[in-house]
Amino acid sequence: MPHDRQALGHSDADVLLHAVTDALLGAAALGDIGELFPDTDPANRGRDSAEMLMLAYQRVRGAGYSIVNLDCIVFAQQPKLSPYKAAISRRIAEILGITPEQIGVKAKTGEHVGPVGRGEAIQAEVVALLERPTS
């Protein structure tokens, strides 16, 4: 989506994929993205967030969990994300090997308040529901 700003971070700074990664690791009690991909490791500089998400989900699956659903919220004043919500769901589903119907994406602005509202920051929050079949 066209925009005159970009996120800065040690990896590629994809705020939503990082939040999905953290939500999955947290829901499975497997730590967080900083433990798995520390910014002190030069190998993580500019790293593709999709690759990080795939590797994290491999660990989650290795612990016996699968995704029931993801509830994602992206907070950004600009660009307006509503037209891209379906595409975002499809891309996350593709990365994780699940269906887009398992992923809810909501876009919120900061209503011109705080760092998000002033366009200084973008933020994402994700809740992951996992299941581990019992036998």
Tens of pLDDT, residue by residue over 55-105, are 999 999 999 999 999 999 999 888 888 999 999 999 999 999 999 999 999
Q: Tell me what pLDDT residue 2 has.
A: 55
Q: In this structure, how many other beta carbons lie within 10 angstroms of the beta carbon of residue 97?
A: 11
Q: Total domain count for the chain?
A: 1
> Is 6 within the bounds of a domain?
no
Residue identified by tokens 């990896």 is 11
Q: Which domain holds residue 59?
A: 15-131
**Single-letter amino acid, residue 15:** V
CATH (domain of 102): 3.30.1330.50
- State pTM to two decimals: 0.86
> 105 phi and psi, to 5 degrees?
-125, 125
> Is 4 within the bounds of a domain?
no
Which residues, in sequence order, are bridge partners of residue 126? 72
Tens of pLDDT, residue by residue over 7-58, are 444 444 589 999 999 999 999 999 999 999 988 888 878 778 999 999 999 9
Q: Tell me what pLDDT residue 10 has.
A: 46
